[in-house]
Amino acid sequence: MNQPYETPFTASAPGLAAATHEVLNQAASANGFNAFDGDEALRELVGKIAPWATGKCSALGALAGNETLQDAARLANEFEPRLRTHDRFGHRTDWVEFHPAWHQLMAAAFGHEVHSLAWTTQNGKGHFARAALSYLWNQVENGVGCPTGMAYAAVAGFTGKPPLEAWRQRTLAADYDPRRLPIEQKRAAVIGYAMTEKQGGSDLRQTQTTAEFTGSGTDGDTYSITGHKWFCSVPVADGFYTLAQTRSGVSCLFVPRFRPDGSQNNFFIQRLKDKCGNRSNASSEIEYRDTWSMLVGEEGRGIREILSHAHLTRLDFAVGSAGLMRQALTLAINHAQTRTAFGKPMSELPMQCNVLADLAIDSEAAMLGAMRVARAVDGMASSEHENLLSRVATPAMKYWNCQRAPVFVYECVQVHGGNGFIMENPVARLYREAPLNSIWEGSSNMMCMDVLRAMDKDGRCRDALVEELWLHRGANAAYDRFIDDLAGHLARSYPHDGHARMLVTRIALALQAGEMLAHGTLEAAELFIASRLESNGLPVFGALPDSQALPAIVRRAAVIGH
């Protein structure tokens, strides 16, 4: 569903001349570009792996540079969602009102299949192609990345469960239908997840909410839920996966907004969270009281069910953080190329050039690492190697990209100087957004523990990881030394939890380096290896070794042509 986007407000339209001075040397506005067509690294990768997706990526990439959508992103974050618990007659509505810009963004993302392409394409490499869309969408507006990511993962829970077939179909629609109606009357569905309670989000075994069995029928086994959730994003969704204690332990249930008889279900929004970032998106606290729900999967195996969906959201946040970094980089390069200092474009000042080149290789490595995980997810069903690799590489890349994004964006803010710290500059919004992905869908520590757990439980996961790293052996001596050392370390023993972060950081960097050798330019791959694997210290950005290649690396990473 491609829509024309018109520009009601154009920043580039002529403004009034300032009375006291001429406005000089402000950076050019970053719009009118295509985040796919202009991104050599991504374009080349999609061309190799899923060339059929090029047109879809290009259509979505145009939105990142579209001034109207950029303005919609600003408006949706400035005019925040408002809770409406009741209508004016006193009936409970438990609804949230949004600025029209939010709906415009949702329609654009869902219309461009950011949530669904993995499941609907017949062309193969669907998870990879969808990941490319998500990477591009995360350069438009991150708040909407939450509902698209949840809808993507939700399909895994609907598939093969006949009572949930209508939900599967509507979740897959390339459409957005924000009406508050029972699912049968809607063209498309939005899905939420409500797991986290006050007493703990990482340790879901602590779930206090309870569910009582009420019967079996065409909706499968049904339950009545009572309790609360401390975090529930997108509380206007049509249905929610949730966790509750049943007679057999923590179970996964699905709560539709309306009961099968068409009456409103007991889904009470207590208040909206006042968040550091992600302000366009509503996140809430909710309560259930005798709430109608359907069992998903086996009773008592709810955490296992949810984790099978989380595998996909974790991939999506590895991709999402890479996209966020890419947007920050695009803004930083644009700024530095179009503002001068000391007689030169700032991008040509040697130290700034080193910073930008360093950011560029980090961004490319983040994208390539995340897209490698997406390919592993595509191969999970047909290849043992891909299946085993994905169990280690997904949490490793979720950890590392999400961990890296805040410090990366901080550096991009610095490139902008004072302008970067002002909220009307999109890079300031990215700075507030960047830490979130390392918290939800499995925090950094939980991801590191997951990597250890996967290798502890099944030694073949470790073997698949080492095999993967060995594929790129022989191209760079420092890379070879690093992976030999890492493989030796993995063969001897794993650290206990207390030291997992360093090991998982090394695993993530090795995976990224391998992908840089396979798909990046030789100069960028060598610099990545020299500065990340050899130095063993991850110094500050801007500490790349001397190289003639730095200006060319910055130019290759510039999405906007000047």
Ligand X SMILES: Cc1cc2nc3c(=O)[nH]c(=O)nc-3n(C[C@H](O)[C@H](O)[C@H](O)COP(=O)(O)OP(=O)(O)OC[C@H]3O[C@@H](n4cnc5c(N)ncnc54)[C@H](O)[C@@H]3O)c2cc1C
Which phi-psi region, left, alpha or beta, contains residue 200 (left: φ > 0; alpha: ψ -120 to 50)? left
Cα–Cα distance, 529 to 406 (Å, whole number) = 22
Q: What angle do CA 309, 441, 500 make, to 5 degrees?
A: 110
List 84's β-bridge partners, or say none.
Answer: 95
CB of 282 to ligand X, least distance (A): 10
Helix (H) or strand (E) holding 354: helix 350-379
443 binds ligand X (CB under 6 A): yes
Q: What is the DSSP string of 104-159?
A: HHHHHHHHTTTTTHHHH-SSS-HHHHHHHHHHHHTTT-STTHHHHHHHHHHHHHHT
Part of the chain binding ligand X (CB under 6 A), chosen from 2-10, 86-94, 442-450, 451-459: 442-450
Of residues 336, 367, 357, the one with CA closest to residue 131: 367
CB of 203 to ligand X, least distance (A): 6
**Do 450 and 456 meet the contact criterion of CB atoms below 8 Å apart?**
no
Residue at shortest CB range from ligand X: 201
340 binds ligand X (CB under 6 A): no
The SS3 of residue 289 is strand
270 binds ligand X (CB under 6 A): no
Q: How many residues bind ligand X (CB under 6 A)?
A: 21
With a CB cutoff of 8 Å and minimum separation 6, the contacts of 524 are 360, 361, 364, 516, 549, 553, 556
CB of 145 to ligand X, least distance (A): 12
* C-beta closer to ligand X: residue 153 or 357: 153
Give the contact letters, 281-300, x = binds to ligand X (CB under 6 A), - = no: --x-----------------
446 binds ligand X (CB under 6 A): yes
Of residues 477 through 506, those in contact with ligand X by CB under 6 A are 497
Of residues 176 through 215, those in contact with ligand X by CB under 6 A are 192-196, 200-202
* C-beta closer to ligand X: residue 307 or 475: 307
* C-beta closer to ligand X: residue 193 or 541: 193
Q: Which of 103, 275, 301, 460 is in the footprint of ligand X by CB under 6 A?
A: 275
For the chain, how far is it from start to end, CA to CA, in angstroms? 31
How far are the Cα atoms of 91, 92, 93, 94, 264 from residue 87, in angstroms, in the given order? Answer: 5, 6, 6, 9, 14
Query: Could you tell me how far CA 155 lies from the centroid of its own chain?
Result: 17
CB of 243 to ligand X, least distance (A): 8
* C-beta closer to ligand X: residue 232 or 359: 232
Q: Which of 7, 120, 264, 445 is in the footprint of ligand X by CB under 6 A?
A: 445
Part of the chain binding ligand X (CB under 6 A), chosen from 209-217, 246-254, 433-441, 482-490: 433-441
Give the contact letters, 222-261, x = binds to ligand X (CB under 6 A), - = no: ---------xxx----------------------------
Residues in contact with ligand X by CB under 6 A are 192-196, 200-202, 231-233, 275, 278, 283, 436, 439-440, 443, 445-446, 497
